[in-house]
Amino acid sequence: MKIKEQEIVLVAEKIIKSFPRNHSITDPYRVLITTVLSQRSKDENTEIASEKLFSVYDSVDKIANTSPQQLYELIKPAGLYKQKAKRIVEISKIIKKKYSGKVPDTLEELISLPGVGRKTANIVLYVSFGIPALAVDTHVHRISNRLGWVSTKTPEETETLLMKILPKRLWGPLNGSMVEFGKKICRPISPKCNLCVVKEKCKYYKSEKGGKR
């Protein structure tokens, strides 16, 4: 492993240790549907929508046998509720019919579901099945570029490069920790560099703009 890659691993480990995220819910179906709800939504709004949804429809069968309109009010806090309701019902019907009510545990099968991209699939693989998977969302993509780990234009490019740099044991934990780190410290606008535990290893902080903060 190159010296730069060794440094990246150490920084990643520090972020994971400093901003741990525990997953209290690991049921594959609930994790999948909640992650679909989280698309373009704040965590707190996603949580409200998920709790409302599963308090009424607590199984694949129940959601598969309902209409998207029945879900509108329940998931409205997460935003884009009409689109998400349609996807959730479609996903549930496929899981019920094609997979006998059980969420599949491969990337290929998960991303074949309506509205399920690599990020969502990788979260399910790691959180629910314990399979090494690197979920790259806007936080992971932005922070990895800001730190200088990669120089990429898309989350897909970031995922590919990080998988080459980081050991598999860090793939799963990194997403949740980066989300917490990105919300509390390494924010998109006005990052709190003075409070950052890894600023000495950060390309942005060392730059003229970052160094003046």
Q: Which residues are annotated as a binding site for [4Fe-4S] cluster?
A: 186, 193, 196, 202
The DSSP call for residue 196 is -
What's at 175, amino acid-wise?
A: N
Contacts of 85 (CB under 8 A, 6+ apart): 68, 69, 71, 72, 75
Q: Which residues are annotated as a binding site?
A: 186, 193, 196, 202
The three-class DSSP label of residue 154 is: coil
For residue 206, the Cα-to-chain-centroid distance in whole angstroms is 28
Q: What is the DSSP string of 15-67?
A: HHHHS----S---HHHHHHHHHHTTTS-HHHHHHHHHHHHHH--SHHHHHTS-
- In 3D space, the residue among 17, 20, 29, 16 whose CA is nearest the CA of residue 120 turns out to be 29
